[in-house]
Amino acid sequence: MRAAFAALAACCASLAAGMSILNFGAIPNNSTAFATAANSAAILKTFMAANVSAVDRTVLIPSGLNFSLYYVPGVANMDNITLQIDGVLVVNNNVSDPAWGTQGGEGVIDITGSSNIEITGSGMMDGQGYDWWWYTILSGVDRRPHLIRMTRCVDVLVHNVYLLNSPQYHVLLEDMMNVVVRDLVIQVDVEKQRALLEAHGLWQNSTGLPTFPLNTDGIDPSGINVLIDNVTITNYDDAVAVKPMNGGGTYSHCSANMTISNSRVSMGVGMTIGSVPPNTNINCVQDILFENITFTDAIKALYIKSNPGTNGRGIINNITYRNIVVDGSLWYPVWIGPQQQHQPHSSGTGCSFLYPIVPVCPTQPLVTISNITLENVAFSGGLTLPGVLLCDPATPCTGFRFINVTNTGPFLVSPSYVCENVQGTTDNVTPAPGCFA
């Protein structure tokens, strides 16, 4: 019966638009190491065949079938290719498998140096991230892949695909030019972690809380000319995090000219800039607009963060948050200042996650933050305090404008902003940051 079903699927796939990975050796509905390796190889072979085809330049993941995957290596120098994900791509969750290598940080789908690339479809990528988070926490070994990673690509469209439980970032876009990401759903499902605990007999002995996901960012772009529109993200980490570019970039020396709009975030850690450390080539993010975004139960909502470093410079300039609604802030509605998080397997940032309850948060004099605008922003239900605006006395933040900003909640820590070394103006703001000149 299984062989007959596979033959039928291959037959039907050959009639569908696109080059089916079934025709290049993919083995559906099978998570063995052999099938996983075959599927990864089949996707690469299909990309290569489509790239030289004069007729069909679509790589098809056929609907109704699951395909277990390792990394798909070597997808490079493609032009005018569509990856059509109508089935389900499942990241193999044998975390200790040598096929994953020793480094991590690549994309399961990893595309480099390519142009005119579209990723779409009615299907899904399932990262089975909860197994990866547990392994990293318990072992200290971090080899987590991203789901989709693209590097030095131009003229890119990513849309419609459902992304679930990435081991690390869901979409990582590095040194890009002319990108549209729209109509995506990105979800991290912490309920899956309860099933994992129960399977290992650990639930009854636990505190009853699931493991918090690690670095499960939604979309992290760097480069120039990026539109991210109509995305729905539930991920317990940065929803969209604009990363810096510097003089070493191919398409831009500054991440710039980006719009993130018409989107919804639940249980996220912000529509974010950064983190931005100083760099001898000058790390830079500027001219970024976040517009028409709603947050529900935000861990953080509006988040701009520098990072430690002692050499070079960094620039964060002309960032606008407009028409933003935040309903329920679990930690801080606004954070502008040093990154307030100890990254896994690092020495930490020096800024306590409990700041200002624990009054330790060194500022960064080498990264200038200027011309930050909040306009028509409504925060409600904040649990801790209205926000933190924390800049360095040697290089104070300048050009801040808060226009029509309301911020309400029980504010169990403080009814006022923590606000230091910021120059700015307010118009119809409640409460107003106390340190604005």
Helix (H, G, I), strand (E, B) or coil at 5: helix
pLDDT, residue 52, reads 97
The answer as to whether 435 is a domain residue is: no
What are the tens digits of pLDDT across the range 69-120? 999 988 999 999 999 999 999 999 999 999 998 888 999 999 999 999 999 9
Give the residues of the chain that fall short of pLDDT 50. Answer: 1-16, 206-210, 343-346
Q: Cα-atom radius of gyration of the chain, to the nearest Å?
A: 22
- Look up the domain containing 322 and give its range: 18-430
The answer as to whether 222 is a domain residue is: yes
What are the tens digits of pLDDT across the range 240-280? 999 999 999 999 999 999 999 999 999 999 999 999 999 99
Chain centre to alpha carbon of residue 32: 29
Identity of the amino acid at 254: C
Helix (H, G, I), strand (E, B) or coil at 436: coil
Distance CA 101, CA 96 (A): 9
| DSSP-assigned states of every residue in 192-227 | HHHHHHHHTT-TTTS-SPPPPPSS--SEEEEEEEEE
User: What's the total number of domains in the chain?
Assistant: 1
Distance CA 365, CA 341 (A): 18
pLDDT, residue 131, reads 87
The answer as to whether 361 is a domain residue is: yes
pLDDT, residue 152, reads 98
Distance CA 351, CA 349 (A): 5
CATH number at residue 249: 2.160.20.10
pLDDT, residue 183, reads 98
Question: Do 9 and 64 contact (CB within 8 A), yes or no?
Answer: yes
Q: What is the pTM of this model?
A: 0.92
Instruction: Please report where in the chains the tokens 């392994």 appear, as a residue.
Output: 135
Question: Do 44 and 73 contact (CB within 8 A), yes or no?
Answer: yes
**How many CB atoms neighbour CB 138 within 10 A?**
9
The answer as to whether 281 is a domain residue is: yes
Which residues lie below 8 Å from residue 201, measured CB to CB, with a gap of 6+?
A: none
The answer as to whether 305 is a domain residue is: yes
DSSP type of residue 313: B
Task: Tell me the pairing of strands 107-112 and 162-164.
Answer: unpaired
The answer as to whether 395 is a domain residue is: yes
